[in-house]
Amino acid sequence: MAQRKNYYEILGVEADASIDAIKSAYRKLARKYHPDIAGESSVEKFKEVTEAYETLSDETKRKRYDILLGIFNYNKSTADRATQKEAKKAYQQTARQEEVFKSAERQQSSTKKEDTNNFQNIFNEFLDGLKTKPQPQQKPKQKNEHRPINGSNITTDVVISMLEAMSGVSKTVNILSTQECTNCHGRPFANGMNCPVCDGKGVVSQHKKITVKIPANVKPNSKIRIPSEGNKGSYGGKNGDLYLNVVIENNSNFKYDDLNVLFTIPITPPEAVLGTTINVPTSSGNVSMKIMPKTNSGQKYRLAGLGLTKGDKTGDMIVTVNIEIPKNLSQEEINLYQRLQELATERDKV
């Protein structure tokens, strides 16, 4: 004979446990055995716990279950006269059905062994009916009883370099947003009580990574909108949007002047006197630029077409030379500067 499931043992409560104790036990076990937490191996156990709760949390189902389980006299808290009458009627019906089954079997074969499990089968069918047959009860408000609530927007900073701002770049941002609970699928209740995963909120907070494209020629503090990537809406409401605030790393060598990009580059005194070739960083990569001999500090060079673009207009990059004295000079270099000073003094006397 198949062993009957003891729903009280499954939930770990006494047969006279209160509904609050049953709910508390279910909440703990549902968290413990939920497949999203414990893995696929816990699916059957989670179903068993849910099955037990669905029966014991419903007053009518619990009364019938107690009677058929044989603990009617023990669990007096669930028994009243109306229930006794209802249970007696149900028992008589199952007894009559059992007799009909036995009679049919005797007619089919006088030698066939009498099936001793008929009543057990009827009991199992009765329990299945408890699980599937809807019972009138006061249920919490469900998803479709709420008005749609739109999700809120999320605003976060994305930091890029000046060159990335000029050329455009793809960046991955990590945001914390609310998403639909995978256990109750956005409903604040599961099996008549607060969802054990989201605690009745219908949503959970999750980190997610989003790759976004920053367009070329973006300006500091520009706002970039990514639709529907904000917080999740509730009860069919729309998702919020994600807004990126563009922060360009501070670089004193770069500045903007309308569509022109202003860049200051340092050179040494010998380079200023003798001339040299330097690499200038641009949105298209490094560009070689020739510094003419006898260049003064503050002198400007123009690199056409390497500024910002807006519509059909493109600015230039203006490179300003700044002569800087090296901080760490060797004694030999100092001696040479002294000799240069002497030569300059002699030249001025002529």
What residues form DSSP beta bridges with 319? 263, 301
| pLDDT on residue 79 | 46
C-alpha closest to that of 6 among 15, 76, 293: 15
Separation CA 53–CA 67 (nearest Å): 17
At the top level of CATH, the class of 7-132 is mainly alpha
In this predicted structure, what is the pLDDT of residue 111?
41
| Statement: the pTM of the whole predicted model exceeds 0.85 | no
**Helix axis angle, 118-132 relative to 43-56, nearest 10°?**
80
Question: Of the candidates 283, 23, 320, which has an alpha carbon nearest to the alpha carbon of residue 31?
Answer: 23
Tell which residue, 98, 94, 131, 90, has the closest CA to residue 5: 131
Residue matched to tokens 């006299």: 73
Question: pLDDT per residue over 244-277, tens digit each?
Answer: 999 988 777 888 888 899 999 999 999 999 999 9
The amino acid that residue 50 corresponds to is T
Domain spanning 145-248: CATH superfamily: Urease metallochaperone UreE, N-terminal domain (2.60.260.20)
CA distances 223 to 153, 243, 256, Å, are 13, 6, 18
Task: Tell me the CATH number for domain 254-344.
Answer: 2.60.260.20
Show me where the domains of the chain are located. 7-132, 145-248, 254-344
What pLDDT digit, counting tens, does each position of 28-74 carry? 888 888 777 777 788 888 888 888 888 888 888 888 888 777 654 44
Paired with 267 in beta bridges are 323
pLDDT, tens digit, 9 for 90 and up, residues 285-334:
889 999 999 999 999 999 999 888 888 899 999 999 999 988 888 999 99
Task: Evaluate whether 7-132 and 254-344 have a shared fold.
Answer: no
Section 82-102 average pLDDT: 52
